[in-house]
Amino acid sequence: MSSTTDPEALRRAANRFGTPLYVTDLAQLAAAAAEVRVAFPDPWLRHYSVKANDVPAIVAAVAGHGFGANVVSRGEWAAATRAGLPNDRITLEGIGKTEADLRAAAAAVRDGRPLRWVALESPEEAAALAAIVRSVAGPSGTLDVLYRLNPDVAPETLPGLAVGTGGSKFGMNETELAAAIEAGGGPDGPLRPRGIHLHVGSQLGAIDAWRDAVRRALAITALWRGGIATFDTLDVGGGFSVFAAGKPAPGPARFAGELPALLDGTPTDRRPGRLAIEPGRFLVARAGWLVAAVLHARDRGGRQVVLDAGMTELIRPALYGAHHAVVALTSLGRPCAGVPAGRLRSASAAKAPTRVEGPICESTDSLGIHDLPPLRRGDLVAIADAGAYGASQSSAYNGRPRPAQVLLDAGGRLRLGRRRGSIAAVTRQ
């Protein structure tokens, strides 16, 4: 991805919509989507994992680049629908599906507009969904399902993101998977077995665990495909990483490049007829900036600033030590002079290591140390790579309304994607 975001546009956005503010650069989003699409072209099924950023305008922007949606709840499903996606381009997965979520999936079958598939997490969930589909959609109603496999690998990522380990709460082992197929009524039941769902982890720093997991999933798919003709799908999940500039990480093409050899290891008549991916972070992280204003600038044996954005808007640093670059948009009230430096031109003058803190009453609310020019109250900074798992994981802790979300188009125009929350919403009973 080579596009850069114009700092002037971020300053304009902050002046017009206030801070803290999420800004999504649609040109960067388009570049990321193109990179994934080139690596996984049709007939790959591409679903955007809405949990990364559930603002409907952003889901719609991703959909416009050839992606369906992968959702984990009726809330995310509603966001995908609002983004204009029909049910047959939406998949439902997730370990937290409620009875109401399952009922909604069954009602969509009854109404003749079923989801593309539902990915199941346990035999109990399969039994519950089968019963609900029977009662809501009648004896002829069928719903396509995948079975989430726990691949029991050692993903090369932060422990908090390594969901594919054997002890994790996600997915089933082979015995549970067989029981889930049975619990759904087998090949002729209300749940039509379509294949395997996999997600190894997020921010994958290498491909080895992913390769092992896909190899296992292909072997299991081949086994079931022998007995159940509809068992034809392998969804390899998401996980493509977005690291700070300069840190090498495998891109989507590197993962895609593994597939031919993996498929070669499977008999031709046992290979999945449909392959799918469901990335989230890679599509939206780089495009997103969290623009904040400085509340306090102090000397604490070194520079320290406190911003008006922190863990309530971007919890990743506090949650699992994620690093996000911070760049100055203004210094002592003046726009920072631009020098090309990565994806945002940043200030050149008098930079010094500065501890950047958030405004929340928790000492873990910190963005770490960054080289920044002199700052004072009211100066603007931009936090990089904040487009994924920022807005969607935001909270109203400390009584803080949710920030607005603005979209920046290629012509430099700004459009409101989600309006700022209100005190009324924070206090609503």
Residues that bind ligand PLP (CB under 6 A): 49, 51-52, 93, 163, 199, 202, 237-240, 278-282
Assess contact for 239 and 208: CB atoms under 8 A: no
Position 25: which residue type? D
* Number of residues in the chain: 429
For residues 216 and 303, which CB has a smaller minimum distance to ligand PLP in the complex?
216
Whether 336 is catalytic is no
Q: How far apart are CA 324 and CA 310, in angstroms?
A: 12
Assess contact for 150 and 156: CB atoms under 8 A: no
**CA 88 to chain CA mean position, Å:** 20
* Token code pair at residue 12: 């304009």
For residues 93 and 125, which CB has a smaller minimum distance to ligand PLP in the complex?
93
For residues 17 and 282, which CB has a smaller minimum distance to ligand PLP in the complex?
282
For residues 129 and 163, which CB has a smaller minimum distance to ligand PLP in the complex?
163
For residues 49 and 73, which CB has a smaller minimum distance to ligand PLP in the complex?
49
> How would DSSP label each residue in 131-183?
HHHHHHH-TT--EEEEEEB------SS-GGG-TTSTTSSSSB-HHHHHHHHHH
Residue among 173, 228, 231, 240 nearest 200 (CA): 240
Q: How far apart are CA 296 and CA 49, in angstroms?
A: 37
For residues 151 and 239, which CB has a smaller minimum distance to ligand PLP in the complex?
239
Residue in 361, 363, 424, 427 annotated catalytic: 361
As measured in angstroms, the least distance from the Cβ of 161 to ligand PLP is 7
* Token code pair at residue 203: 């921010």
As measured in angstroms, the least distance from the Cβ of 241 to ligand PLP is 8
Using CB atoms, what's the residue nearest to ligand PLP? 238
As measured in angstroms, the least distance from the Cβ of 392 to ligand PLP is 10
As measured in angstroms, the least distance from the Cβ of 237 to ligand PLP is 4
Kindly give, in sequence order, each residue whose CB lies less than 8 Å from that of residue 4, ignoring residues fewer than 6 positions away: 340, 342, 343, 344, 345
Assess contact for 202 and 246: CB atoms under 8 A: no
Assess contact for 330 and 368: CB atoms under 8 A: no
What are the phi and psi torsion angles at 285 (to 5°)?
A: -60, -55
Q: 417 burial class (0-12, 13-18, 19+ CB within 10 angstroms)?
A: buried
As measured in angstroms, the least distance from the Cβ of 282 to ligand PLP is 6
The residues annotated with a catalytic role in the active site are 361
